[in-house]
Amino acid sequence: MSSGRTVPTRSHGLGKEGVSTTGASQVEFGDPELTARINDAMVQVEELLHTELSSGEDFLVDIVMHLTRAGGKRFRPMFALLASEFGEKPLSENVIKAAVVVEITHLATLYHDDVMDEASMRRGVPSANARWDNSVAILAGDILLAHASGLMSQLGTDTVAHFAETFGELVTGQMRETVGPRDTDPIEHYTNVIREKTGVLIASAGYLGAMHAGAAPEHIDALKNFGAAVGMIFQIVDDIIDIFSETHESGKTPGTDLREGVFTLPVLYALREDTPVGAELRDILTGPLEDDETVNHVLELLSQSGGRQAALDEVYRYMDIANAELDRLPDSTVKEALRNLATFTVKRVG
Ligand code: GRG
């Protein structure tokens, strides 16, 4: 379950007062007016992110700005902005704040996740634990949560309560992954982990964006559920790519998860297959894979299995859920943009 992702079309630039908008994806939404509106609001997100995270002692600022400046897709704040378009106050000051809260929380999880995974790179730069050390990276995640909490308190107790739940689910997902499936079915375990680790925060972006724009309760609910489904698609697709893409297509070495002993959905389906390939995989896959030859052999076995197709079927099932949630929203160019966003995520694996 590696967390690098491919990027929608975007360009980089500098926002007002020289604030770097490196992370602000200049995404094309198929409607020039909407595109301009969202991209302008993304510059505001970037400015607030920069202002908020630049406050405090220099030694803290340097470290929290390390991954902030390194970019990332800014997918979550952008989704919060799009969700706000369904309310009476789209892209309002509180919507921008909510979008920043979500991105800062996401950043905090990345600092902590990299410590747990002993990751050496993140967003194309050395991870904080690699550049400094584990203690520094953990404390950077903690100070980010302090920043997020400060902004949240300005948004009111509903937002604070929502975030208490979101934090709880994020940590539960990480803990669930750490303790492993134990007596649970491994596929159910995997599904719970990715829902909690990835789906919950994307759902939160939709919820908070729509809520702070004053959207109707049923529309807030639809955007939250759409976000949760997109999170599942996002993660399963990434896990499929980790196994079945050539390095030149994904920019990553295939089988990273396998090397780390993390068995993602295509592998779990292949492992339960009642075929010679399934039996051989069950013999080999008892822990992390050490050497390239074994990884390559397992990748070959996986390509002969039905694991990829079974995982893809799950992706399409979540795509249906995402589309059904969109159907609960009034027709608009924003709704079509969200539909395209979900389709784009799936197209990465055909
Ligand atoms: C600090 C509240 C808190 C929680 C700690 C570490 C942890 C519990 C949870 C980990 C959650 C996690 C890292 C999930 C992976 C999510 C994911 C899909 C990351 C990659 O997202 P992208 O591709 O990254 O959007 P960019 O870099 O583009 O922002």
Whether the CB of 236 sits within 6 Å of ligand 1 = no
| Res. 348: pLDDT tops 90 | no
Smallest CA separation from ligand 1 atom 26, residue? 72
Whether the CB of 141 sits within 6 Å of ligand 1 = yes
| Res. 24: pLDDT tops 70 | no
> 């689910």: which residue's tokens?
169
Domain holding 270, by residue range, is 3-347
Q: What is the pLDDT of residue 46?
A: 98
> 323 φ, ψ to 5°?
-65, -35
Confidence of residue 8 (pLDDT cuts 50, 70, 90): very low
Whether the CB of 198 sits within 6 Å of ligand 1 = yes
Confidence of residue 251 (pLDDT cuts 50, 70, 90): low
* Distances 150 to 53, 60, 135, 142, 293 between C-alpha atoms, Å: 11, 16, 23, 13, 50
| Res. 306: pLDDT tops 70 | yes
Q: What is the pLDDT of residue 26?
A: 66
Confidence of residue 5 (pLDDT cuts 50, 70, 90): very low
Known binding-site residues for Ca(2+) equal 113, 117, 300, 303
pLDDT one-digit tens code per residue, 230-244: 999 999 999 999 999
CATH of the domain at 317: 1.10.600.10
Domain count for the chain: 1
Specify the pTM.
0.92
Nearest CA-CA partner of 4 in 69, 73, 102: 73
Span from the CA of 122 to the centroid of ligand 1 (angstroms): 11
Whether the CB of 79 sits within 6 Å of ligand 1 = no
The span from the CA of 21 to the CA of 15, in Å, is 6
Whether the CB of 75 sits within 6 Å of ligand 1 = yes
Span from the CA of 215 to the centroid of ligand 1 (angstroms): 27
Whether the CB of 170 sits within 6 Å of ligand 1 = yes
Mean pLDDT of the chain: 91
Mean pLDDT of 88-114: 98
Smallest CA separation from ligand 1 atom 27, residue? 72
